[in-house]
Amino acid sequence: MPSFSGGRNIALKVPPHQYDGTIRFYRDVLGLAPATAPGGDAIGFRFGSCNLWIDRVETMSQAELWLEVVTNDPRAAAAHLAEADVVRCDAIEPLPEGFKGFWIANPCGIVHLIGAQEQSWS
Q: Which residue from 109, 97, 87, 118 is spatially nearest to 13, judged by alpha carbons?
A: 109
Task: Tell me the CATH architecture of domain 4-116.
Answer: Roll (3.10)
* pLDDT at residue number 94: 93
- Please report, for residues 12, 27, 63, 69, 96, the alpha-carbon distance to residue 101 in angstroms, rounded to integers and kept in the order given: 19, 30, 23, 10, 10
Q: Locate the domains of the chain by residue range.
A: 4-116
* pLDDT at residue number 117: 85
Q: 45 — phi, psi (to 5°)?
A: -135, 145
* pLDDT at residue number 121: 54
pLDDT per position as a tens digit, 46-76: 999 999 999 999 999 999 999 999 999 999 9
Q: 107: which residues sit within 8 A by CB, 6+ positions away? A: none
* pLDDT at residue number 120: 56
